[in-house]
Structure 1
Amino acid sequence: MFSSLKSLNSNITTNYQVSPHPTLVSGPWKIHDGKKKSTGTTASIFIFDKKVLEPRSGGLSGRSGASIKRLQEEVVERLKREAGNLARLRHPSVLQVLEPVEETRNGGLMFATEKVTTSLGGLLQEKDTQENSGSVGSRTSRYMVEEPDGSRWRRDLDIDELEVQKGLLQVAKGLEFLHESAGLVHGNLNPEAIFINAKSDWKISGLGFAGPSDSVETRSSLPPLALSEVLHQDPRLPPSVQLNLDYTSPDFALDSNVNPSADLFSLGLIIIALYNSPHASPLKSHGSLESYKRLLGAPSSTPSQGNSFLCSGTIPKDVLAHVLPRLITRRAAQRLTAREFQQSQYFDNILVSTIRFLESLPAKNPNEKSQFMRGLQRVIPEFPVSVLERKLLGALLDELKDRELLPLLLQNVFAILRRIPNARRILPEKVIPQLKEVFPVGKGASQERDSKKDAGLMVVLENMNIIAGNCPGKDFKDDILPLIRLGMDSPTHTVVDAAIKCLPVILPALDFSTVKNEVFPPIASTFSRTNSLAIKVRCLEAFAVLCGGSADDGEIVGDDLSGIVEKSKPQPAKSSILDKYTMQEKLVPSLKAIKTKEPSVMMAALSVFRQIGRVADADFLAMEVLPVLWSFSLGPLLDLRQFGEFMSLIKNVSSKIEREQMKKLQELSSGESTGFQNGTGTAPKSSSSFVPSETESTRDNFERLVLGRGMAALNNQENDLWGGLVSDTPAPQASTPRTASAAFSWSSTIGSTGRQSSLTARSITPDFKLNSFPSLEPTAKRTSSPAPAFSTLQPSTPNPWSMPFTPNHQHQSPGTSGTGPSLASLGSINASGTSPARTNLQTATNYSAFSIPPPPSTQTSSAFAQPSPLLGNGASQPQQGTPKQGLDKYQSLI
């Protein structure tokens, strides 16, 4: 954006970056934006190009070259004197010169001043354009400003009554300084000689015609004003380098008298121009002294109270009645002085008085400053937005170095930021740099405790919503987040509390990595080291927010785990900010380390666990979270309602664990083979294989699920109870018709208490009694490997549905012996409850074909006295096992 002007060669162009195009033109000066290369200070570069004085057609062409050169030198000398006068005068109402005037290579002039945004003349011209163009002009009344960094924004130039009052007051102060301190008369006070800076201050400039007063004997280095020369309007020169007769006092034109009151007459004409339409002086001399004298010679063309000072606009009543009659008067002795003007009734209101006090704030004592800052908060809403942004905010920021007033100053600063619409631009540009100076962070920053700075930091933290809403993300991370961490590290509990309360506000402005690495660790550190219950609770609330909760969450309604959902207050699940790893590995250990049993801490921790329960793994919840919840729930200080909340969460978490574990087991079971398997593999399918019904298959799957066993686990047991009794060779097929064959579906297990539990049984002819079968006698011949002996205790209540049966055409009478189903045929039934091959009915009734060894006791034997080895760990168990051992192992399975 900026580049050195190639046509100029000076120290200013060497030390400053100068915009290639002027931002405004005032009189003979073209004003460029500039920035000092070494410090970055913004400035305005005033440039006068001598080419504007070159002869034009019908102008200087008829004159000799010597005469033209002399006129040019006179103009250059006058402009040089103007810049020199500004450099020698130092006052808040006089334009401040940063670099003295220099001559350029082509004979022009250049000097640098404080940054100005416009001149009063330029502002009035813009207002004329706006008023003449109607609604369209509302856009043209704004200047497009281009910042040194390349950014562009529109600057509103509209002024209201308060700004006019403030500006006139500042001009009057500047005139008072010129008249009483410098002993000078301005001589050419007009709207083009008044500049407005970035703070909306009005500054006096245009001192090219300034000189000492005739009525006061002063030793001034400036020569007296030669009225005969300055009043003469030379048509060979541009009007911008000559005296503006439209704002000239009759003291000059009619009396040839140079006195300070002449400037007050000019000030009165400026006031009329502010309210006039168009915004111009009521005197239209058109650069002719004769026309000027003629206007003042006729009452109708002379501004007076009788003709409303020839103003087509509405002048405020106080100005019209008390101010202008004492300024626009022919007799100089009747005019107000600059000091009296400031004390007029026109400026007697609270807003103007506030501005005047603020400008003189450095001269006030500490008590007056404190009272003023407290009262300022009440009147801020009455100020126009433009005055707040341009005047008050800048003045308050300049005072932030006053440590005693720091909290009050910051309160007023944030009150202004709430009202101005340009806060998103003003905050990072003006406010944040000041905050960084007041609250330094880093290795070199002082760590001494300062109560005033702590109070100021409290104000910043309490207004973090304003900062977060108007600060870009990068600036927030780099400049504001360190202030929040500074608050967390403060030894003052209230500051720490305020810093942690900022969490819900700052999270939307930060990314995940920043939250995890720069926000969570300091909160966790504060939580672990603090001894304050309030800070612990605040940290827990922050943890809940980081895990997906909200700052204003109350009791969270039970979700589908409890079956109770409150429809009037739905609680949609919020995505957690922290990841699951950080919650499980970093956050939960901090929660487990809580020692206090205060209800407030316990309930705040409950909110955190409620959020963790939505994210954490089921096994982590079972092993790590549930024990902590039970421990906290048994706190001796909890009331009934609080204990109920803990129990509700415990039940919800337990339900979640149970549901996920069952789901996992079901997925494992469904992934395994559903075919019938034996110890070596899947049994071959044949016409004699038993195919279970759909109901039986479903029930078998349920058995394996609740018993904690899979199909593969059962088939891989080396010493299966029934497998030990299976014949090495399958039984031969029966010769009886297929319709007379018997099908068995065994899935009986022996409970750990010794009772028989029939889970699945089928019986075609259950019309028999158990005692109708004779006792089994051992034989010497075996066709299968020996099976372990069973106890001889007869079950107290036989279950006919789980016993072998005989078809009706082979049923034996109670007195018959040696007939019945072979126990080996039972051994051929695998653990899934089905038989691999259909049993030959004749062979099944021959007890001599398969037999078992004789029991050790001579008492009546039974195969159902000892616990089944199926219910232990899946392997064969010693037959000396006790019922209690079997019960323990059963409980461990289910």
Structure 2
Amino acid sequence: MFKVFKGTGIESSYSISANPLFVSNNTWTIYPAKHRTTKKKVSVWQFSKKDLEARLQANGVLNRTNRSMIMDDISTVLRNYVSNLSKFKHPNFLTVIEPLEDHKNRMLFVTEYVVDDLATLNKSDLDEIIITKGLLQIASGLKFLHQSVHTVHMNLAPSSIFITENFDWKISGMQFIEVMENKVQEKYIDPLDSRLPSFLNIEFRYSSPNLLLKHNVDYINDLFSVGCLIFYLFNEGRPLLECSSSSLLEYERTFNKLKHILGSANLHHHASFNSIPRNYIDVFIRLLKETQESNKDVLMLQTPLTVDDLLASTIFNNDLIRILNVIDEFPTLSQQEKIEYLTNLTKDLSSFPRALLINKFIPVLSDLTTPLLSAKSVNEDDQKVIILASQNLLILSNQLSQLTFSDKIFPLLNKILNEQNMPSYDLLLVSNIDTIKTKLGANETDLGSKHTQLFQKLLNKLFEKSMVASNDPNTVQLQDKVLTSLSVFLNYQTYSTITTQMFPAVCQLFSTTSSLKIKNLTVNAFILMISGMKEKNLDNYIIVEKLLPLVQNTHVSNFKNANLLMNMVQLYESIFHKLNKSPATISVAKNEVDVSELIRDSIFFQLWKLTNFVSRKSDLDGLFRIIGEIESYLKKSVTAKLKETDADSSPRPAVVNHAASATAPVKPLDDFEDFQAAPSKSAPLRLQPTKQYTPPVAQAAPAATPNILSFGATSAQPQAANSQQTFAVMQPMKATRVSSPQPSPATTPAPTSPAIDWTKTMAPKLRTGAPSYDSLI
């Protein structure tokens, strides 16, 4: 919520929040604000004279006689605070954007955006890397102050060091600075009335005894303050010298205790300094011991400690610190230098604390990428920078909360995906798809949630861009990664999307790709869609109408690859297991199709064909196992149909014609008579002769007429004698279905002459039970 003022230049130029971020040193109330035109974030500092007057009057400090003098002194200190700060243009000093506006009841000025000072900062956000980086920035600022402008800060304390949004530390609190004139100067510091605000005097707890007890202004005073800051930062905000700024005697007693500790024999392992890291302890002790008194001798027997000694110390000899140093100058690097830096950064980025990742690296990496996206054309080096920057953003995302990732990382990643055609970038996203899913909070069981839908759109875009037949190595790698991770893509899609968009795309890629690896992966994708998606598995219609014709038309040259061959076998097996659980008939294209016949014709026979291409014994054994499984299924299916047919067409008892029986015996049925009846719809196949063979008949007497037995005749009746024997050529038999046996009508036999009774030797016996047939497959 921003409040609008129209009384001053600052308040008319900036939209100022109604809620302050923090209050520094009980003096400045600091508000976040934005410039109305540029929208740049800034901090507006406000000091209320009215509130201070009220507090001073309540404490009995302010009365009618001294009111004007005290308030003028306060105003002078505050004006010095701002004016001195405005003079220093250095990256390690707080930047003043708008000068001080001094009004009747308040003062205002504007600086770069800050979020805290070291006094108000939550100490749990600090770790060794953050502290070391911050101290390096303070030391760099002091180097500029001491060596370039020859000035002593005099009041380096937690309340005079501010932290920006990028977690950079900035020096402020310049109201007491002293310019050096080639030699040590004298200055006496008076204690402050405890009823007055603390910003009116130097903070004793962080001041050197060289200043307060020896009354010397020297560069070493600031270095002693740095030692006090180190202790403060590594001890959760507890000061090294616990005293007030209202008593020099109290300060002296406290310092003497510290001096006694510093004179201990085993100082480096003293209990008071246990919290100081081991790589800090040497320089920390030097900062406290060698800055207690200025050396005023003409002949210097010992070189005084300087800020250069601090910068050259082991505490800053750290790879992570060097990385942070470079990133501060990142915009000035060439593209090749940026590529090299970002490549090395991927190895060390996870070592940085979360606060630095959020406040330092995310802004730098985002600012690096955004301008490149707006360019009309992105060259190869720019693409590498974009991909490496995105890779680092994904690495640091593992330490971010879901909210931070959704707000700061995902929008940029999504923008690059939609605006740029870079297969290498798409491959990067697919490789980190689990991280993106987790950090977005996507849930495959709740496809209606906002974050799940964002993730779903990302998957759809990646899938669409990958399913393009191409020989480009990056595109092939992308297809490889997408097909390998296909279950993730499918889990976040509806069944309709899978069947109308994703399945046809995989089919197209299967048909067009020239890469055997990708073709293998598409076959695996089919298997996943058939049996690995539970309620989203492909239905029988799509399998029969779309998938089976596609795989059956695969060119045989592909089967020279043993892996593809066995993947095809597994695909047929998956289809078989899917279909054999279906009803006996399924509807395909408005036609009822017998499942067992479909399995026999489209799977069983196809698998037998594939045996021609098997080159390994283990593969052949696996193929025969599957063939045997399908054969067993088909036998059971055919047997079950036969039993149903037998039950429907079982023989009924024949009605005996006693009159006919008296004159002619009932002739046993011939096996071949079964073939003359109309076959039933589901009866098994049998062989039926189409022409007959008539054997020679043995003659009982020379004058007798021979009897000829005719196979396939409706009854065994005597035939007229011929002058020569009759032979019929046996032709190949054709298959027909077996019908239930029917009794032949009774006939009256003609008188016969003596002959061999062939009915007793060749005619089949009458069956008394149901016929039994072997099923043919």
Bin of the TM-score, shorter chain as denominator length: 0.5 to 0.7
- 1:416-446: per-residue Cα shift (whole Å, max 9, x none)? 455x3x4545543433233234x341xxx35
C-alpha displacement of 1:178: 4.3
**Within 5 Å, which residues of 2 pair with 1:441-590?**
441=418, 445-447=419-421, 453-473=422-442, 474=452, 475-479=454-458, 481-489=460-468, 491=472, 492-508=475-491, 512=495, 515-516=498-499, 519-549=502-532, 576-579=536-539, 582-590=542-550
C-alpha displacement of 1:269: 1.9
- 1:253-291: per-residue Cα shift (whole Å, max 9, x none)? 56777665543332222123234586114162x122644
C-alpha displacement of 1:53: 0.7
Report SS of the residue matched to 1:195: strand
* Contact map agreement 2:638 2:775 (CA 8 A) in 1: no
Report SS of the residue matched to 2:568: helix
C-alpha displacement of 1:322: 3.5
Name the counterpart of 1:165.
132
Query: Of 284, 300, 306, which residue of structure 1 is paired with 2:263?
Result: 306
C-alpha displacement of 1:460: 3.2
Query: Does residue 430 of the first structure (1) align with residue 408 of the second (2)?
Result: yes
1: CA distance, partners of 2:314 / 2:425: 38
Report SS of the residue matched to 2:106: coil
Query: Does residue 238 of the first structure (1) align with residue 197 of the second (2)?
Result: yes
* Contact map agreement 1:49 1:109 (CA 8 A) in 2: no
**Within 5 Å, which residues of 2 pair with 1:364-383?**
375-376=344-345, 379=348
Query: Does residue 753 of the first structure (1) align with residue 753 of the second (2)?
Result: no
- 1:65-92: per-residue Cα shift (whole Å, max 9, x none)? 5854665566467556656776776655
Across the aligned residues of Structure 1 and Structure 2, the Cα RMSD in angstroms comes to: 5.6
* Contact map agreement 1:190 1:266 (CA 8 A) in 2: yes
| Matched letter for residue 430 of structure 1 | K
Name the counterpart of 1:52.
51
Report SS of the residue matched to 2:55: coil
* Contact map agreement 2:543 2:575 (CA 8 A) in 1: yes
* Contact map agreement 1:493 1:535 (CA 8 A) in 2: yes
- 1:160-192: per-residue Cα shift (whole Å, max 9, x none)? 333322221122123334455677654432112
C-alpha displacement of 1:597: 2.8
- 1:843-887: per-residue Cα shift (whole Å, max 9, x none)? xxxxxxxx9898999999xxxxxxxxxxxxxxxxxxxxxxxxxxx
Structure 1 pair 56/528, CA: closer, same or farther in 2 (3 Å)?
same
Report SS of the residue matched to 1:53: helix
* Contact map agreement 2:2 2:17 (CA 8 A) in 1: yes
- 1:492-550: per-residue Cα shift (whole Å, max 9, x none)? 31222123222234445555555556644543443333221111112222232233349
* Contact map agreement 1:189 1:266 (CA 8 A) in 2: yes
Name the counterpart of 1:190.
157
Report SS of the residue matched to 1:597: helix
* Contact map agreement 1:35 1:43 (CA 8 A) in 2: yes
| Matched letter for residue 204 of structure 1 | K
| Matched letter for residue 605 of structure 1 | M
2: CA distance, partners of 1:859 / 1:105: 151
Name the counterpart of 2:377.
none
Structure 1 pair 292/47, CA: closer, same or farther in 2 (3 Å)?
same
* Contact map agreement 1:120 1:194 (CA 8 A) in 2: yes
2: CA distance, partners of 1:593 / 1:226: 98
| Matched letter for residue 119 of structure 2 | G
Name the counterpart of 1:642.
619
Structure 1 pair 323/795, CA: closer, same or farther in 2 (3 Å)?
farther
Name the counterpart of 1:846.
none
| Matched letter for residue 52 of structure 1 | D
Count of residue pairs the alignment pairs up: 645
* Contact map agreement 1:95 1:204 (CA 8 A) in 2: yes
Task: Give unmatched runs, 5+ long, in structure 2.
Answer: 297-302, 373-381, 443-451, 586-592, 659-668, 684-711, 719-738, 754-772
C-alpha displacement of 1:461: 2.5
Structure 1 pair 521/858, CA: closer, same or farther in 2 (3 Å)?
same
| Matched letter for residue 465 of structure 1 | D
Report SS of the residue matched to 1:109: strand
Name the counterpart of 2:606.
631
- 1:618-642: per-residue Cα shift (whole Å, max 9, x none)? 5565566654433365244323543
C-alpha displacement of 1:366: 6.2
* Contact map agreement 2:157 2:206 (CA 8 A) in 1: yes
Name the counterpart of 1:887.
none
* Contact map agreement 2:32 2:42 (CA 8 A) in 1: yes
Query: Does residue 605 of the first structure (1) align with residue 582 of the second (2)?
Result: no
Query: Does residue 321 of the first structure (1) align with residue 297 of the second (2)?
Result: no
Name the counterpart of 2:321.
352
**Within 5 Å, which residues of 2 pair with 1:6-25?**
18=17, 20=19, 22=21
2: CA distance, partners of 1:581 / 1:317: 72
Structure 1 pair 458/852, CA: closer, same or farther in 2 (3 Å)?
closer
* Contact map agreement 1:597 1:637 (CA 8 A) in 2: no
- 1:685-717: per-residue Cα shift (whole Å, max 9, x none)? xxxxxxxxxxxxxxxxx76x2359589xx99xx
Structure 1 pair 707/493, CA: closer, same or farther in 2 (3 Å)?
same
Name the counterpart of 2:27.
28
| Matched letter for residue 172 of structure 2 | G
2: CA distance, partners of 1:186 / 1:162: 25
Structure 1 pair 501/344, CA: closer, same or farther in 2 (3 Å)?
same
Task: Give unmatched runs, 5+ long, in structure 1.
Answer: 128-156, 218-224, 448-452, 551-573, 666-701, 716-720, 732-746, 760-789, 797-830, 835-850, 861-889
1: CA distance, partners of 2:368 / 2:20: 35
2: CA distance, partners of 1:37 / 1:529: 56
* Contact map agreement 1:96 1:114 (CA 8 A) in 2: no
- 1:701-740: per-residue Cα shift (whole Å, max 9, x none)? x76x2359589xx99xxxxx99xx999xxx9xxxxxxxxx
- Greater displacement, 238-247 / 88-97: 88-97
2: CA distance, partners of 1:852 / 1:423: 94
Name the counterpart of 2:206.
247
* Contact map agreement 2:191 2:248 (CA 8 A) in 1: no
| Matched letter for residue 321 of structure 1 | D
Query: Of 624, 628, 645, which residue of structure 2 is paired with 1:706?
Result: 645
Name the counterpart of 1:269.
228
* Contact map agreement 2:486 2:525 (CA 8 A) in 1: yes
* Contact map agreement 1:162 1:352 (CA 8 A) in 2: yes
Report SS of the residue matched to 1:121: coil
* Length-normalised TM-score, structure 2: 0.65
- 1:37-69: per-residue Cα shift (whole Å, max 9, x none)? 999987766554445313237656564558546
2: CA distance, partners of 1:272 / 1:417: 32
**Within 5 Å, which residues of 2 pair with 1:647-686?**
647-653=624-630
* Contact map agreement 1:597 1:632 (CA 8 A) in 2: no
| Matched letter for residue 531 of structure 1 | S
| Matched letter for residue 325 of structure 1 | R
Name the counterpart of 2:172.
206
Report SS of the residue matched to 1:752: helix
- 1:736-767: per-residue Cα shift (whole Å, max 9, x none)? xxxxxxxxxxx99985336999x9xxxxxxxx
- 1:796-831: per-residue Cα shift (whole Å, max 9, x none)? 9xxxxxxxxxxxxxxxxxxxxxxxxxxxxxxxxxx9
2: CA distance, partners of 1:191 / 1:366: 38
Structure 1 pair 212/540, CA: closer, same or farther in 2 (3 Å)?
farther
* Contact map agreement 2:495 2:536 (CA 8 A) in 1: no
* Length-normalised TM-score, structure 1: 0.58
2: CA distance, partners of 1:588 / 1:41: 62
